[in-house]
Amino acid sequence: MSSVTRLLPTPEAHDLLELTRELADKELAPHADDFEARGEFPRELIRTLGRSGLLGLPYSAEYGGAEQPYEVYLQVLEILASRWVGIAEAVSVHTLACYPVAHHGTPEQRERWLPDMIGGELLGAYCLSEPAGGSDAANLTTKAVREGDAFRVTGTKAWITHAGVADFYNLFVRTGGPGPKGISCLLAEAGTPGLNPQAREKTMGLRSSPVAQIALDGAEVPAERLIGAEGEGFRIAMGALDSGRLGIAACAIGLAQGALDYAVNYARERVQFGKPIIDLQGLGFMLADASTQLAAARALMLHAARLRDAGLPYSIEAAKTKLFATDMAMQVTTDAVQVLGGAGYVADHPVERYFREAKVLQIVEGTNQIQRMVIARSLARD
């Protein structure tokens, strides 16, 4: 990764980012192409990150977390994504999956589940979207009916990252009437009878990351696994997504940084018309624009994270950050392919993969059209 000047809050944060760079270079980057080509989920590498303390960064030390500011956690994600965005996305999704218990669980629930969650021994999934209601989450139809000491859950969840490899699933289900106030959150174990991961989707990019539907056929989830009160599920889901959108933005920034670094190095070495192509104004200006847009996205991300760390409202800034950073990553990876020309279109160079991976970041954690709706509504209210 090219040198990025960072203003970090503590010396400990500097050490943490250096540890992340070392792990990413030695343990992750050498395996990325192989796992992506085979479409295999790198579960043991995720455990390595967990044992190194990188899966519980924003969470309480009481449960084994590192209590790092969100601005530090996001820069860790960024570094991971610059080497292998599939790993960074897995860390982001897992951190999102820990949010309901960490922020809305009872003390007993936190004591029971959080240490293994944030230690990486238990991998999480977050089940909000449905086949007929991806962006329209408030109208989800998966039903949970209380039967004594358990809920009986029936329905289908869609586009679930870590489907089939997760150890626990946050299920957002309808326990009451229509609309957001009828939604609750249940924490289901993998292997629960009636909770059935379906065949993996054949995705354009992030092929090491399993995505599939979860069919719920009368799955029985103990009532003690209700997170928060009945009817609070939508509020829990949206709070988690505000944080998750910053995580996806960090993935986009790291991915774009990796693409830019590769394109710049190639342009320095590739000679045409008697000089390195980076000295040709058409390509030099393209790379200059990419570098500028990348710096702007990073600044926007850090501003939103610092608002969150200060306990100030940050939901709209998270939407802006996710929107800008992922659109930027799509443009930068597109330009990286263009800088390499025909070489950029073949799998011999990683920019072909970066280009495919960037696209999904404009879709997950709320499409960029949804982010624009969120921002526009805030303008209408002000």
Q: Which residues are catalytic?
A: 365
The answer to whether the beta carbons of residues 50 and 90 sit under 8 Å apart is: no
Asked whether 122 and 165 are in contact (CB, 8 A), the reply is: no
Smallest CA-to-CA distance from 243 within 65, 54, 69 is with: 69
HSE-CB for 242 with a 13 A CA cutoff? 20
Instruction: Pinpoint the alpha helices (H) of 105-176.
Output: 107-118
Beta strands 168-174 and 124-127 are parallel
First-residue to last-residue Cα distance in the chain: 40
Between CA 296 and CA 101 the distance in angstroms is 33
Question: In the chain, helix, strand, coil percent, each to 5?
Answer: 60, 15, 25
Tokens of 27: 């343990």
* Cα gap 19→16, rounded to integer Å: 5
